[in-house]
Chain A
Amino acid sequence: MSALTSLSMTEAADAVARGEVTSEALVEACLARIAAHDGGVNAVIRLDAEEARAAARAVDQARAAGKILGPLAGVPMMHKDMYYRAGKVSTCGSKIRKDFVPKVTATVLNRLDDAGAVDMGTLNMAEFAQNPTGHNAHFGHCHNPWSLPYCTGGSSSGSGASVAARFVFAALGSDTGGSIRLPATICGVTGLKGTQTRVPRTGVMPLSFSADNVGPLVRTARDAARFLKVTAGPCPKDPTSAKEPVPDYEAALTGSIAGLKIAVVEDWFLDGIDPEVLKTFEAALDVLKGLGASVTRIAVPEMAAIGTYTALVSRSEGAAIHANWMREYPQDYAVHLNARLYGGYSLPATFYIEALSRRGPLLRAFCERALTPYHLVATPTLRIKVPTLAETDIDVDPANWDRFMGVSANTRPFNYLGLPTLSVPCGFDSNGLPIGLQLSARPFAEARVLQAGDAFQRVTDWHKREPVL
């Protein structure tokens, strides 16, 4: 294992800034990892090796010339293949868009470029970001670096797998129902979904405009804090992007959470939970208590409504934007995707409008019950043990439908509620697959979840463990 690729994103950026390592060395280390191991993992769709080397050289030359570097200068990253870069193919993980060349560049990619990040290319993903497992019929399934027969989680499958496999220091993912947090938990890395509207979505493939989020998969909460600082904030091209000030999230990472009040919502999030996952979750809560936080078990009777409505919004919006292709090229979608989209056409508009209209009142109710008396809500990110690719393959066997759809049960509610939510690794199951702890806070309180995640990672080492490839 190369020591360089074991660095966190912020450690790598700081090492470049101090002149302790060159960006070129980081890029070469990452390229070597990819060359050696992506044959099994299948995380990469397009590798822009020469462009990355050139960008790294430019950073190293700028530093040598005494120029001020950006906060991510010289750090190799990749992005889920649904972030548009003008003139470059963005497949969206699909056959339908295998040759699609956008004319615009995503705002988040521009912001990462401006911060000095080195873009090495694009990553595998669920087709059109529409499954929670990482299956992809067109580019091949992405495989979990901890054990290749297991799923990576989706839809940002390549993002989770590439960060876990130490191919890159950070990867852009997207999250409409858990698509950052699921691959983060399942691959044993850290993932952050910000408050709905926190990060602009200009130049990002849409899935469900009410619930889509842009965010990072990284090694640590500190990495997520710096990444969010760079990418958050309003964009004039995305009128939905929030105008809230963007704080210095890293400044909140004091290591102290004494007095922090944490709620465990027992309805919904612990329903049918696997005993091993529950035991690990409780152990993670004990760690937080050991740091001075208090943990209280509560009930939120609105969870049934939240769970019902959350399933409606993205399916309705996703079906609508895919309707033309579903009429013209249904055979070009994977079986599981056109099966999922098809059901969306049966949903009455009145159901969809009701789901959107109840969103504000249910957010207020959830905050009143869980996030007024308490600072954070803690849940397991995934309530079952990590399934294999075969166990969740509905292209082969429709009987896997419930297991496939159930993967995102604990993540989807936070998309409906729009709350900032972080997933950090907190243990492993008896199959050697990671387990994640999910922390949510009030709108725009990303600093809260990052503070708790960072404190947790200061006294645990789950996020430092690396798969043997």
Chain B
Amino acid sequence: MEEPALVPPTMEQIARWQGVQLPNATARHGLGEMQGLIDAMAKLRGTMVFEDEPSSFEAALRDCKEQEA
């Protein structure tokens, strides 16, 4: 299967921003899989609202405690 086009520039970006070098061929293969994640995230565009924030999770855990079904 042909390697996704995102792989070489992403490798360059990781090296530049993180100082981490490609460790092996499997990592290169795995990086190619990221196209699927990009596509999945594109489908979710517009769902996050301005007020969403990480701390809402702890509040939801408390609020969603079991009550009578």
Q: Which residues of A contact B (CB under 8 A)?
A: 195-197, 242, 244, 261, 304-305, 307-308, 311-312, 323, 326-327, 330-331, 333, 335-336, 338-340, 342-343, 345-347, 351, 353-354, 356-361, 363-364, 367, 371-375, 394-395, 398, 401, 405, 418, 441-445, 448
Q: How many residues of B contact A (CB 8 A)?
A: 42
Q: Which label, helix, strand, loop or mixed, suits the secondary structure of the A interface?
A: helix
Could you tell me if A304 and B14 are in contact, using CB atoms closer than 8 angstroms?
no
Could you tell me if A356 and B63 are in contact, using CB atoms closer than 8 angstroms?
no
Could you tell me if B61 and A196 are in contact, using CB atoms closer than 8 angstroms?
yes
Contact residue among B43, B55, B57, B66 (Cβ-Cβ distance under 8 Å from A442): B66
Closest residue of chain A to B25 (Cβ to Cβ) is A398
List of B residues within 8 angstroms of A357 by Cβ: 48, 52-54, 56
Whether B5 is near chain A, meaning CB under 8 Å from some CB there, is no
A340 to B31, CA, bound (A): 9
List of A residues within 8 angstroms of B63 by Cβ: 364
List of A residues within 8 angstroms of B34 by Cβ: 343, 346
Contact residue among B13, B22, B57 (Cβ-Cβ distance under 8 Å from A342): B22
List of B residues within 8 angstroms of A373 by Cβ: 69
Closest residue of chain B to A418 (Cβ to Cβ) is B61
From 10 to 66 in chain B, residues with beta carbon under 8 angstroms from any chain A beta carbon are: 10, 13-14, 17-27, 29-31, 33-34, 37, 40-41, 43-44, 47-48, 52-66
Could you tell me if A372 and B54 are in contact, using CB atoms closer than 8 angstroms?
no
Whole-angstrom distance between the Cβ of B5 and the nearest chain A Cβ: 14
Given contacts A339-B23, A442-B66, A448-B66, 16 further A-B contacts (CB under 8 A): A308-B37, A311-B37, A327-B20, A342-B30, A346-B31, A347-B37, A356-B57, A357-B54, A357-B56, A358-B47, A358-B48, A360-B55, A360-B59, A364-B60, A405-B33, A443-B64
Whole-angstrom distance between the Cβ of B41 and the nearest chain A Cβ: 6
List of A residues within 8 angstroms of B60 by Cβ: 359-361, 363-364, 443
Could you tell me if B24 and A443 are in contact, using CB atoms closer than 8 angstroms?
no
User: What are 7 pairs between A and B in contact, CB < 8 Å?
Assistant: A308-B41, A339-B30, A342-B22, A345-B17, A357-B53, A398-B25, A443-B64
The answer to whether residues A339 and B24 also contact, given A351-B41, A360-B56, A401-B33 and a CB cut-off of 8 A, is: yes
List of B residues within 8 angstroms of A197 by Cβ: 58, 61
Could you tell me if A339 and B61 are in contact, using CB atoms closer than 8 angstroms?
no
Contact residue among A261, A335, A356 (Cβ-Cβ distance under 8 Å from B54): A356
List of A residues within 8 angstroms of B59 by Cβ: 360
Whole-angstrom distance between the Cβ of B47 and the nearest chain A Cβ: 7
Whole-angstrom distance between the Cβ of B14 and the nearest chain A Cβ: 4
